[in-house]
Amino acid sequence: MADPRLTDPALRVALAQINPTVGDLQGNADRIRRSMRSARRRGAGILAFPELALTGYPPEDLLLKPRFIEDSLTTLHKLLPETRGLVAIIGFPSRGPDGRLYNAAAIAAEGRIVDIYNKIHLPNYGVFDEARYFAPGDHCPLFEWGGVRFGVSICEDIWFMEGPAKILSEAGAELVININASPYSIGKLRKRREHLKKLTQHICCPVAYLNTVGGQDELVFDGGSMMVDCRGRVRMQAPQFVEGLYLFDLDADSVRRHRCRKAPWKSDDNWFKPVQIGKAKLTSRKRAALPATLTTEMGETEEVYSALVFGTRDYVEKNGFRDVLVALSGGVDSALVASIAVDALGPKRVHGIFLPSRYTSGDSRADAFRLSRNLGIDLRDVSIADIFDRFLETLAPHLRGLKPDVTEENLQARIRGTLVMAFSNKFNWLVLTTGNKSEMSVGYATLYGDMAGGFAVIKDVPKTLVYRLCRWRNRRHKRPWIPPRILSKAPTAELRPDQKDTDSLPPYSILDPVLRAYVEEEQSLDQIMCSGLEPSEVARVVRLVDLAEYKRRQAPPGIKITSRAFGRDRRYPITNRFRNYAAVPRCPKS
């Protein structure tokens, strides 16, 4: 009796969900080379790598350096000997005969480049700026290897129902391989999967969707590669935020039998004549069947937390830092940042500093030290009280007769910023700032104070989501990881007696929906007011968002997790007189 674990697949395809680093041509090539060898050992016939895998994505203005393009091509050619017995699809920047640069995929086999596919649809919205660097491609080559016809497309190409994938299917493709560098945002994986289900049914052809994984500055690429068959069924689903080689077996005969009548071949057209890749024949020997790869999908909160951990780890390590420093205030934001840092790097690489002033409460002190014990990190106690007094004495003759205001409050934040940067310089620790999206949106942060640092972990995380992430992390730990009082007490900057965030801002349960509507959904003031929120509060929040642009330009980069983050996503002029709201008092902490 035949062993049911053995199969005779028509074609084994491997998707290399790798984590390249921008500009590290040799390091990226080593990753590609290791994947080639592993794929060959596991019986793969075709192996795909992500969009611009050789250079990392996005390489931005490195693409304007001729030497960078030349070195990329040289590195690609050094990989060609590894393609013996294997078809490799490698993303790289290609200089065409016309002198223009293309976002391309090399189709390589038997030690040579068989052909090059140039990306046709270039995204130029949100975080993407591809029209700045690349010219669009204009053809969709079809390939045949071992009797199986396949085509290649790149990222944005797959989002067009009548685009390259449809053209390839009509040409007779039994598989479309789409290589990507698609950044993470909340709900993006589900959006990709639902689109691919509709597309594969529309074109009657399976699609292998390969996404890169890793952190690059403020972007996180979540992987989640998948294969969807011609009936819209997900046959293979790789995990998010995990580097690895993921394989599936394609039964080309089954694809041919089940092709829909509405997608007829047009093989009589010479333009669709497939490029023959060598004379390789598909194996006929029995091989062990691949285990099913259908990863359980994360819940939204776990997905966001994982993205923050992954993005923090890659930013720290790819930029050559070993340790990080977090200023613990006893509040929820610094608690979340410290928790993420520990999960990303381990407790020995995370250091805390507690910087109390005359206004710091005993509860804040107790909570900060309890948190540090729970996380297993060291915590230094450095009072700023005496330094603050000296600043006040120095300024007294010049401020005589003026009432204390935000000036004195911000002095404390700036003293703290100076101290954390001193520790950063002395010990080469990267300072992780702790401001959240709600605060950064309205400018409730101090320049050269709590904004001082190298990486803003929760810069794109609204305050209400900060609490959800903390509670999720506590549930996962099965005991209080973040002290419960941190999650129950009213948020406060503790820069004056009995201060609360609500002295200066609407409650976050009201503020966050307004910010989401204005910043992420681009709703007008009238639209937001029609949602039932208090008109005066809406106008005030919108004004604060616009006025705080100059601060956000000076903030460190932070991880994008929403559909529209500040920075690469939202580019707003600082000098700007467009207004559609009534004048309101400025935020006291501005």
For residue range 174-187, what is the model confidence (pLDDT) as tens digits? 999 999 999 999 99
Residue 575 half-sphere exposure, CB side, CA atoms within 13 Å?
Answer: 0
Residue 253, CA distances (Å) to 258, 327, 511 in order: 9, 61, 57
Taking 60 as the threshold, does the pLDDT of residue 299 lie above it? yes
Instruction: Tell me: do 223 and 112 sit in the same domain.
Output: yes
Residue 520 half-sphere exposure, CB side, CA atoms within 13 Å?
Answer: 19
Per residue in 43-89, pLDDT tens? 999 999 999 999 999 999 999 999 999 999 999 999 999 999 999 99
Please answer whether residues 159 and 195 qualify as being in contact, where contact means their C-beta atoms are separated by less than 8 angstroms: yes
CATH of the domain at 221: 3.60.110.10
Residue 583 inside a domain? The answer is no
Residue 270 inside a domain? The answer is no
Please answer whether residues 203 and 544 qualify as being in contact, where contact means their C-beta atoms are separated by less than 8 angstroms: no
Residue 1 inside a domain? The answer is no
Domain containing 64: what range? 10-261
User: What pLDDT is stored for residue 588 in this prediction?
Assistant: 41
Task: Quickly state the pLDDT bin for 294 (edges 50, 70, 90).
Answer: confident
Instruction: Tell me: do 74 and 200 sit in the same domain.
Output: yes
- The enclosing H or E element of 253 equals helix 252-257
Instruction: Tell me: do 322 and 437 sit in the same domain.
Output: yes
Instruction: Tell me: do 221 and 169 sit in the same domain.
Output: yes
- Clarify whether 155 is annotated catalytic: yes
* Selected residue with higher pLDDT from 366 and 3: 366
Burial status of residue 478 (CB atoms within 10 A of its CB: 0-12, 13-18, 19 or more): exposed
User: What pLDDT is stored for residue 582 in this prediction?
Assistant: 52
* Selected residue with higher pLDDT from 283 and 554: 554
The span from the first CA to the last CA of the chain, in angstroms, equals 77
Residue 471 inside a domain? The answer is yes
* Selected residue with higher pLDDT from 326 and 277: 326
Residue 585, CA distances (Å) to 258, 409, 578 in order: 66, 18, 18
Residue 155, CA distances (Å) to 57, 61, 164, 225, 400 in order: 12, 20, 11, 12, 62
Please answer whether residues 286 and 6 qualify as being in contact, where contact means their C-beta atoms are separated by less than 8 angstroms: yes
- Clarify whether 348 is annotated catalytic: no
Instruction: Tell me: do 251 and 393 sit in the same domain.
Output: no
User: What pLDDT is stored for residue 586 in this prediction?
Assistant: 42
Q: What are phi and psi of 114, to 5 degrees?
A: -75, -45
Per residue in 166-215, pLDDT tens? 999 999 999 999 999 999 999 999 999 999 999 999 999 999 999 999 99
Summarize the confidence of residues 435-443 as an average pLDDT.
94
- The enclosing H or E element of 555 equals none
Residue 328 inside a domain? The answer is yes
Q: Tell me if the bond preceding 58 is cis, omega within 30° of 0.
A: yes
222-247 burial, b if ≥16 CB within 10 A, otherwise e?
bbbbbbbbbebeebbbbbbbbbbbbb
Can you tell me whether residue 500 is helix, strand or coil?
coil
Q: What are phi and psi of 457, to 5 degrees?
A: -60, -45
- Clarify whether 470 is annotated catalytic: no
Distance CA 179, CA 207 (A): 10
244-250 vs 6-7, strand pairing mode: unpaired
Instruction: Tell me: do 56 and 205 sit in the same domain.
Output: yes
DSSP string, 177-239: EEEE--B--TTHHHHHHHHHHHHHHHHTS-EEEEE-EEEETTEEEEB--EEE-TTS-EEEEPP
Instruction: Tell me: do 359 and 256 sit in the same domain.
Output: no
Instruction: Tell me: do 329 and 190 sit in the same domain.
Output: no
Instruction: Tell me: do 112 and 20 sit in the same domain.
Output: yes
Identify the active-site residue in 51, 170, 218, 520: 51
User: What pLDDT is stored for residue 292 in this prediction?
Assistant: 67
Question: What are 521-527's contacts with CB under 8 Å, separation 24+?
Answer: 522/564, 524/580, 525/580, 525/581
Provide the angle, in degrees to the nearest 10, between the axes of the packed helices 463-477 and 332-345.
50
Percentage of the chain lying above the pLDDT 70 cut: 92
Identify the active-site residue in 140, 155, 230, 470: 155
Name the domain count of the chain: 2
Taking 60 as the threshold, does the pLDDT of residue 269 lie above it? no
Residue 332 inside a domain? The answer is yes
Distance CA 176, CA 151 (A): 5
Burial status of residue 502 (CB atoms within 10 A of its CB: 0-12, 13-18, 19 or more): middle
Residue 240 inside a domain? The answer is yes
CATH of the domain at 473: 3.40.50.620
How many residues can be counted in the chain? 590
Which residues make beta-bridge pairs with 60? none
Residue 267 inside a domain? The answer is no
Instruction: Tell me: do 90 and 227 sit in the same domain.
Output: yes
Per residue in 524-581, pLDDT tens? 888 888 767 778 888 888 999 999 999 999 999 999 999 999 988 888 888 887 776 6
Instruction: Tell me: do 58 and 142 sit in the same domain.
Output: yes
Instruction: Tell me: do 312 and 453 sit in the same domain.
Output: yes
Per residue in 509-527, pLDDT tens? 999 999 998 899 888 888 8
Taking 50 as the threshold, does the pLDDT of residue 590 lie above it? no
Provide the angle, in degrees to the nearest 10, between the axes of the packed helices 406-427 and 385-399.
130
CB within 8 Å of 254: residues ≥ 6 apart? none
